[in-house]
């Protein structure tokens, strides 16, 4: 049985499939070939189109199109998942994250305020706040590959095409323009310079 908090204020196409024990909150729109698994929570303000969601996944106020989300995931709030994304199991994609044409493998986290486009992200990767995959050079889109166990510090720019190998560690505030080998710390930021502006400037 599907649990509707307020069925009169949910909008679900006849083509949509919803699994047993799933709860649908008000102001949810489910369109096209969308399939929701068992024991999920689809919270108020979600829009899903042509999307498959696994079991035991929770989605808060998010816009998702033509993508696949696995089991035991937490999505949102205010996440935008654009077409051709595959999110495997036990993954967190948090507030104000945008994904596009990307695959995120098991156990990885993209908690907030990041853009990941045209990327392959491995298992147990941590992508910090404000990370950007710079995938467009003005003419063509390029791919970012982040292998298992990598840690991407906050406010990092990854200039594609680029590959971060297993367990690479990127220092916060870096702009990375070339591949990073396994088990390597990469830092790319200018040295802090301090001046007393009234005397030196």
Catalytic residue annotation: 112
Nearest 5°: the CA angle 63, 69, 75 is 50
Residues 96 and 166: their CA atoms lie apart, in Å, by 27
Coil, strand, or helix at residue 97?
A: coil
Residue 179's alpha-carbon distances to 102, 147, 182, in angstroms, are 19, 11, 10
Tell me which residue has tokens 């829009």. Answer: 47
Q: Which helix (H) or strand (E) holds 199?
A: helix 197-200
**How does strand 35-36 pair with strand 63-65?**
unpaired
Q: How many CA atoms lie within 13 A of 39 on its CB side?
A: 6
CA neighbor of 167 nearest in space, from 183, 178, 144, 145 = 183
Cis peptide before 77 (omega within 30 of 0): yes
**Number of separate helices (H) and strands (E) present in the chain:** 1, 30
């Amino acid at each position: 049985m599907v649990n509707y908090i307020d069925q009169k204020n949910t909008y679900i196409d006849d083509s949509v499939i919803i699994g047993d024990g799933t709860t649908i909150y008000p102001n949810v729109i489910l369109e096209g070939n969308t399939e929701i698994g068992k024991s999920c929570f689809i919270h108020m303000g979600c829009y899903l189109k042509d999307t498959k969601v696994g079991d035991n996944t929770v989605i808060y106020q998010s816009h998702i199109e033509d993508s696949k989300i696995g089991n035991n995931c937490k999505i949102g709030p205010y996440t935008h998942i654009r077409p051709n994304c595959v999110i495997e199991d036990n993954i967190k994609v948090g507030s104000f994250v945008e994904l596009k044409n990307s695959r995120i493998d098991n156990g990885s986290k993209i908690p907030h305020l990041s853009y990941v486009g045209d990327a392959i992200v491995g298992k147990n990767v941590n992508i910090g706040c404000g990370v950007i995959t710079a995938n467009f050079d003005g003419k063509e889109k390029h791919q970012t590959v982040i292998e298992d166990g990598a840690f991407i510090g906050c406010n990092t720019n990854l200039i594609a095409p680029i590959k971060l190998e297993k367990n690479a560690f990127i220092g916060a505030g870096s702009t990375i323009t070339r591949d990073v080998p396994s088990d390597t710390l990469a830092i790319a930021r200018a040295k802090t310079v301090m001046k007393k502006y009234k005397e030196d400037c």
